[in-house]
Structure 1
Amino acid sequence: MMSTHERPQARGGVLSTSPWTRAPLLLLRRPSVFLAIVGAAVVLAIAAASGVLFLSTLGTASLQAQAAADCPESSLPSATASIPGSQLAGVRAGGTARFRSQGLPTPYTAEVGSSRIQDSSVHLLNRKGALEHVRTLTPVAGAGAGAWFPDVFANKIGARPGELVPTVSGAKIRVAGIYQDLAPSPFKLANLPRFFCTWKAQIVPTAASDQAIAATPINYRQAPMLLADEATVASASDGPVLLSWYAPLSTTVTPLSGYDKAQAEAQQAAGLIGAQYGAVVDAGSKLPIKTEIAHHARNGVSGSVLPIDIAGIVVALMLIGGAGVFWATHRSREVRLLVAHGVGPVALGFKAVLETLLPALIGTTGGYFAALGLVRAVGPAAVFEPGTPLLGFLVAVGVLVGGLALIGVIGGLSGRERAIGSARSWPRFVPWELGLLAVAAWMGILIRSGSGVTVDHTIVRVSPLAFVFPILGSTAVLLLAGRLIAWLLPKIGRIAHRRGVAGYFALRRLAGSRAVVVGLIVGTALPCCLLTYGSTVTNGVSHEVDAKYRTNLGAEHVLSVYGVHDSNPATGGRGTLVAVFQAEPRLPGNHEAYVLGIDPKTFADFAFLDSGQRAAVAKLHGVPAGADVPAILVNAPAGTDASNVSIRRTTIPLDVVARSAVFPGLRNGSRPMIVVPTSALVSVDPDADRLNQWWTSDKELGSAYALMQQEGFSVLTELTSDVVIGTTGLLPVTWIFGYLRALAVLIGVVAIAGLIFALAARTRRRTVSYVLSRRMGMSKLTHVRSLVLELVLVVGFGWLAGSGVGAAAFGVIYRALDVYPALPPPMSFVLPAATLALTALVTAAVVLAASLATHALAERAKPAEILRLE
C-alpha cells in the first residue's frame, strides 16, 4: 500500500514534464532568441525555395525576350489556311469556334488577299484595328465599306474616296479613304508600326531582282497594301485568301509550359478546321522554334543553378547552426540545471527543437513568401511554372527539417559540453581543406584546358564548373587562412601589452576567441569573395561583349546610306562618313582583306576609339595622287605584306604608319583590315562594291537624319550594339551570374547575422571583464576604440581576403570564358571597382555599428547582478 507522503511518478517519462511541455512557447519570453531563429529560418527558406523558383522562370524569360524582339504574331499559337473568298466568313467563324473548343482564348484573325489593279499587284488586309495604326489623310467617319488605299498608289492610279476602282478580274473595290503609305520607297528606312510587323514582306519594298520577286509567291510579295473589310477581301481577291487565327496569350502571365500546351491545342484546332472544310491548314508558326530555344536556355543553365543553390542552402544552414548556438548561450543556465538532474543529450536536443519550432515555422513561411516576391521582382521573369510554388514550399520545409535537426544536435551537445567538456582529437589538426583545394585546382585546369563557354542551339552556356570552382576553391583557401590565423592568434596575444590599452584589449580578445575570430573572418570573406567573383565575371563578360560589338559596329549608330556621290561630303558635325569595301580588296599574294575609308578630321568624334587608336588615326593624312597612302594595318599576322591593296582594277600603294589588333568597324576576325583616308579612295574602280555608312552618336542621331534628308541621302538600315548585346543567346549568361551575385548578398546577410550572434554571445560572457575593467579605470572611448580595432582586424581582413580570392579565382579562368573567341578583342580582366567600393563601405558600416552596439549592451549591464550571477 502506497504511503500518503509518496507522489505517483509522472507517466510519459521526462519529456512529459514542464520543461518540455512548456517548451513550444518559452521563447516568446526571450524575443532576441525568438527573432534570431525567425531570421535564420527566413534566410534558409529563401535559399531553399529561390533556386526552384528561379529555375522555373528561365524558359519563360527566354520566350519573353524572343517575343519582344520579334513580331507579335510570331509568338502566338496560330493556324493559317488558304480559303476561297466565298467561304471566308464561314471558315473564320468556324475556326474561331474550334480554337475555343480546344481551350484556347478567342483568337483574333487576319485575312490577306491579292488582286491586280491596272498594271499593279495589290494586297488586301483585313484586321481589326488596322486604321488605328496608320495616318489617315481623309475623314474616317462615314467612310463605309470598301478599302483604304495608300496615298502613293492612290495618286498613281488617280483614286478618290467614294470611287469604285475595278480590278483586272472585274471586281469593284470601293475607295473608303486614303492613308499615308507606310513604306513608300525601297531607298528609305521604313518606319513600320509593330502592328503590321507580321506583314512586313508584303508592305515594305525592297530593291530585289526581278528573278527574286518572281520566285516569291504573290501573296508574300511586296505590293500596295489596301486596308479592307472582310466582304471586300472576299469579293475582290483573285485567288485564295490567307486566313490566320492567333490565340492572344500574354507572355507576362503565361509560363513556357502554357505556350507548349497552347501550341499543341492550336495544332489540334488546325487539324479539325482542315477536316471540317477540306482545306490545308498550317499550324507551323515561329512559336515552336521559340519554345525550343527557351527550353534549351532553361536546360543550359539548370546545371549551373544547382551548385549555387546547394551552396546557398549550406551557408543558410550555417546560420541556423549559429542561431542554435545563440539559443544554447541564452538557455545555458537551464541546460546546466537539467544536466545536473540527469537529463541526457537526446532529451536536451528535443527540447531545443520544441523551443525553436514555432519561430522556425514562422520564419520559413515568411521566407517562402519573401522568395516568391524576390524572384518575381528581380528574377528574369515574374511567371512560375504550374506546381513550382508548391515544390518550392516543400523544398523549404524539407530543408527546415534538416535545420531543426541541426539545432537538436547543437542542443544535445550543449549539455554534454557543459557536463564533461570535449577533448581535442587528432582530426582537428588534419588540413582537410587541402582536399577541397585540390579538387578546385583540378576544376580550374579542366576549365582552362577546355572552354568555360560553349554555344548550343544559339544559347551561350557557361560550364557549371565555372560556378563550383570559385565556391570550392575560395572556401578551401579561406579555411586554410583561418587555420593559419588560429595558429597565429596566441602569438598575437603575447604582443598585446605593447599596443596601448585599446590595442591590448582588442588583441587579447582576439587571442582568447580563436573559433569566433576564424568564423567571423571566413564568414565575412566568403560573401565578399563570391560577390567579387560574380561581379568580376559579369562585368568581364559584359565588357567583353560590349567591346566586341563596339569594335564590330564602330559607333553608337551605324547607318547604311544610299545616294552618296561625293567621296567625302560635309557632315556638319553630326556624324562621320565611312566607306567600306568588304569582298573585293586583296593584299599582295591575293590575300583577302577589308578596307575602311575614314575622314580623319571627324572620325575620332564619333567612333569608339582608345588613346592608341586615336594616335594612329592622327597619322592619316592626304597625299598626292600616286604617292603611298598612309594606312593602319589591323588584325594582321606578323609578316603580312601590306605594301599595297587592290580593289578590282585599282591598286593603292600603302605606307603602314600604325598597327592595331582591333579597330572600330572590324567585322571579320579572319581577315586583315586596312584603314585609309577616304580621299585615297576617290579613284577606286566605280564598279567596286562600295558601302557608305554614316556613323553618329545618340546625341546627334536626330540631327543626322535631318541633314541626310536635306542632302538627299536615303537610310537603308540602322544598327546599334544593343541589337546584338540584347540577343537571347547571351541573356542566360547574365541571369546565372546575377543569381550568383544574389547568393553572395545572401551569404553577406548570413555573415552579418553571424557577427551579431557572435558578438551577442560573447558580450554575455565578457560583461564581467568589462565591468571590472571599467572599475579599474578604462574609459568608454577606449572600450569603443578597442572594439573598432578588433572588428577592423577581423572583418576588415575578411573583406580584403575575400575580395582578393574572388578576383584571383576569376584571374585563373577568365580567358576560358570568352563568349565569342573568333571575334576580337579577347576576354580581358576587369576589376569591379563599384562592387569593391560598395562592399568596403558596407564592411566599414558593419564594423562601426557592431562596435557601438556591443559597447551599448555592455554599458546596460548591472554590475551587481552580473557579479552575483556569475
Structure 2
Amino acid sequence: VERPLGAAPRRSAAVPWELALVLAAGLCWLLLESRDAIVIERGVAQVNGLLVAFPVLGVAGAALLGARLATRALPALRRWAGRRRPPVFLAVNRLAAAPGAAAALLVAVTVPVAVLGYTATLSAGSETTLAAKVGVQIGAERALVSIDRVSPTAGTDAVGTVLDRYDGSVAGPADGARTRTDVQVLAVDPDTFAGTAFWDGSFADVPLEDLVARLTGPPVDGRIPVVATGLPPGAVDLRLGSLPVDAEVAGTARVLPGRRTAEPVVLVAADRLPDVPRSAGSDRQSELWTDGPAGPAVEALTDAGGRLTRTLEPADVLTTANFLGISWTFGYLSALAVFVGVIAAAGLLLHLESRSRSRVAGYVMARRLGLSRRSHLASLVVELGAVAVAGLVLGALLAVGAVALVHRRLDVDLLRPPTPLLDVPWAAIGLTVAVALLLSVLTARYAQAAADRADPSAVLREEA
C-alpha cells in the first residue's frame, strides 16, 4: 500500500472505490426488507444469507471509507503535533509519513472488532431472548403441574409459589356487538409470586412487585383488581368458565410470566376469587413454580395435597434444533472475526519489520540529539495505541449501527413473547479492548527491543 517517496499519487487512488461495498450492503438490506431474516425449514431455524452479507459488506466498506477520511486528517494532525511533547510528535509524524500503512492498519483493526461486536451481540441477544421466551412460557425455572388442588403451605412457600390456572374469557366491544375473548387466568399468591416468577425489566414500565401489589388493593365499585396483558385498563366482564367475576384491570404489562398460548394473561389474587365449582368448566389446574431443584419441589407439592402429572423445564426447549442454526451461523462469523484479528496482529508486526531500517536510523539519530529510550518507547506506544483505539472506536460504532438495524428481526419464534431482547456482551467487549491494547504495547516493546539491538555505528555508516 506504500508508494516510493516523492512518487506522484495514482489517479485511481482518489476514487472512493469503497463506496461500492457500501452500496452493495445497502442493496442487501433492501432485499432483506422484503424477506424473512429467519426461515424455519423442517423445524430448523436458518439465517438468511443476506443477514450475513449485509454487515460484512457494510463494515468493510465503512472501515475503508473511515480510513480514507482519517488519512486526510493526518497533515492537520501533524501540524498540531508540532507543538506537543516528543513522544506525541514522533508518533504522529511516523503515521503521517506512511498514510497508506496507517490506513491499512486501521482497517485491519476495525473490521474484526466490528464483525466480532456484531456477531457476539446478536448471539447473546438471541440466547437471552430464547431464555426469556422459555421463562415466560414456563413461568419460572420449572413448573410442576398437578391435577389435584394444591393449597399453599410453608413447604411450598419455601421452594416457590403456588397458583391455579383457569380457562376464562372477557367481554369486549367488536363491530358494535358484545363478544368474548379467551384469556388465561392465573390465581396467584401475592406474597410469593413476584419472588419466584420469571421477569425482565422490558416486560412492563414498572417492576413485577408493583404490579403484584396492585392485586391486593381495595375493590373498585365492588370489582376485584387484576393485572393483565392485552387488555385495556378499566372494568372488564371476566368469567372463569361460566362463573362471572366482576374485575377491574388495575395494571397492565406487555408480557406476563406463565403465558403458554396466544391468549391474554390475567393475574388475580387467589384469596379474592370466589369458589370456582367444577361445573363452571374452567378446566382448573394447580401449579407449583420453583427456581430450585425438582426434588424438594415435588416433595412440597405432594405434602400440600397435589398429584404431579408433568414437569415443565427449559432444558428440552434450549436443546432443540431451532436455535442451533442461528448460533452456528454467528459462531462461525465470530471465529472468522477472530481469525481476521490474528491476521491484523501479524500485519502489525510485518508493518514494523518493513519499516525497521528507517525506524532504527531515526532512533539512532534522535538518541544523538538527546532523545531518551523511554520517550522513544512512549512514542511507539502512542503510535500503535492510537491506531488500536481508533480501530476500536470505529469498529464499535459500525457494530452498533449494524445491530440496531438487524436485532429486532432476529426472532426464532414469532408466536411466543417477548420480542427480541438486546443483550450487550460486556465480557467479550472488555476482552477485545484488552487484547487490542495489549498487542499494541507488546508490539511497541518488540520494536523498541529491535532498535536497542542495532549497532549505532553500523546504522550511521549505512545511512551515510
The answer to whether TM tops 0.5 is: yes
Q: Determine if contact 1:448/1:813 at 8 Å carries over to the other structure.
A: no
Cα shift at 1:831: 2.2
Pick the structure with greater CA Rg: 1
1:470 corresponds to which residue? Answer: 55
The Cα shift of 1:563 comes to 2.5
Partner of 1:252: none
- Among 292, 295, 306, the residue aligned to 1:698: 292
Q: Percent identity?
A: 31
Q: Distance in 2 between matches of 1:622 and 1:768?
A: 82
The CA deviation at 1:442 is 1.8
Residues 587-634 of structure 1 show CA distances to partners (whole Å, capped at 9, x for unaligned) of 343122111111110011211124622211122117689931111111
Which runs of structure 2 are paired with 1:128-147 in the superposition (5 Å)? Answer: none
- Could you report, residue by residue, the CA deviation over 1:461-480 in whole angstroms, capped at 9, with x for unpaired residues? 11011111111000000000
Matching of residues 292-307 of structure 1 within 5 Å: none
Aligned counterpart for 2:189 among listed residues 599, 605, 613: 599
- 1:461-512 CA deviation, whole Å, 9 max, x = no partner? 1101111111100000000001101111122112221111111111111111
Pick aligned residue for 1:680 from 263, 267, 272: 272
Q: Say whether the 8 Å CA contact 1:450–1:816 is kept in structure 2.
A: no
Q: Larger RCO: Structure 1 or Structure 2 (Cα < 8 Å, ≥ 6 residues apart)? A: 2
Residue in structure 2 matched with residue 634 of structure 1 by the alignment: 229
Question: 3-state DSSP class of the match of 2:355?
Answer: helix
Structure-2 change in CA distance of 1:640 and 1:457 (3 Å) = farther
Q: Evaluate the alpha carbon distance shift between residue 625 and residue 486 of structure 1 in structure 2; reply closer, same or farther with a 3 A threshold.
A: closer
Q: 2:321 aligns with which of 723, 728, 741?
A: 728
Secondary structure, in 3 states, of the residue corresponding to 1:824? coil
Q: Note closer, same or farther for the CA distance 1:565–1:528 as it changes in structure 2 (3 Å cut).
A: closer
1:617 matched residue in structure 2? 212
Tell me, what secondary structure is at the counterpart of 1:477? helix
Alignment-derived partner of residue 778 in structure 1: 371
Amino acid at match of 1:450: R
Question: 1:850 Cα shift?
Answer: 1.0
Is the CA contact 1:581–1:690 (under 8 Å) kept in the aligned structure 2? yes
TM value normalised by structure 1: 0.50
Does residue 30 of structure 2 align to residue 445 of structure 1? yes
| 1:695 partner letter | W
1:576 and 2:161 aligned: yes
Alignment of 1:630-669 (within 5 A): 630-636=225-231, 639=232, 643-669=236-262
Q: Deviations over 1:206-248 (max 9, x none)?
A: xxxxxxxxxxxxxxxxxxxxxxxxxxxxxxxxxxxxxxxxxxx
Matched, 1:852 2:436: no
Shift of 1:855: 0.8
Q: How does 1:386-425 map to 2 (within 5 A)?
A: 423-425=8-10
Contact 1:556 1:695 in 2 (8 A): yes
**Does residue 84 of structure 2 align to residue 499 of structure 1?**
yes
Instruction: Tell me, yes or no, if structure 1 residue 532 matches structure 2 residue 126.
Output: no
Moved over 4 A (4+): 420-423, 622-626, 639-642
| Superposed displacement of residue 711, structure 1 | 3.4
Deviation track 1:508-562 (CA, whole Å, cap 9, x = no partner) reads 1111110111111110111111111110111111111111121111100111113
Mark the CA change 1:712 to 1:598 in structure 2 (over 3 Å): closer, same or farther: closer
Deviation at 1:642, TM superposition (A): 5.0
Q: In the aligned structure 1, how far is the partner of 2:368 from the partner of 2:209?
A: 70
The answer on whether the counterparts of 2:123 and 2:330 sit within 8 Å (CA) in structure 1 is yes
Which amino acid in the other structure matches residue 393 of structure 2?
A: L
Separation in 2, partners of 1:757, 1:543: 41
Query: Does the residue aligned with 1:585 lie in a helix, a strand or coil?
Result: strand
Unpaired stretches in structure 1, ≥5 consecutive residues: 1-321, 326-416
| RMSD across aligned positions (CA) | 2.2
Mapping of 1:172-251 within 5 angstroms? Answer: none
Q: Aligned partner of 1:728: which letter?
A: A
Aligned residues of 1:593 and 1:672 also touching (Cα < 8 A): yes
Contact kept in structure 1, 2:159 and 2:292, CA below 8 Å: no
Aligned length: 449
Evaluate the alpha carbon distance shift between residue 560 and residue 626 of structure 1 in structure 2; reply closer, same or farther with a 3 A threshold: farther
Question: What residue identity is the alignment partner of 1:776?
Answer: L
Contact kept, 8 Å, 1:622 with 1:679, in 2: the verdict is no
Match of 2:170 among 586, 605, 618: 586
CA distance in 1 between partners of 2:24 and 2:386 (Å): 30
Post-superposition CA distance 1:637-663 (Å, at most 9, x none): xx5775231122311111212110101
Alignment pair present for 1:608 and 2:198? yes
* Distance of 2:11 and 2:98 partners within structure 1: 21
The normalised TM-score by structure 2 is 0.91
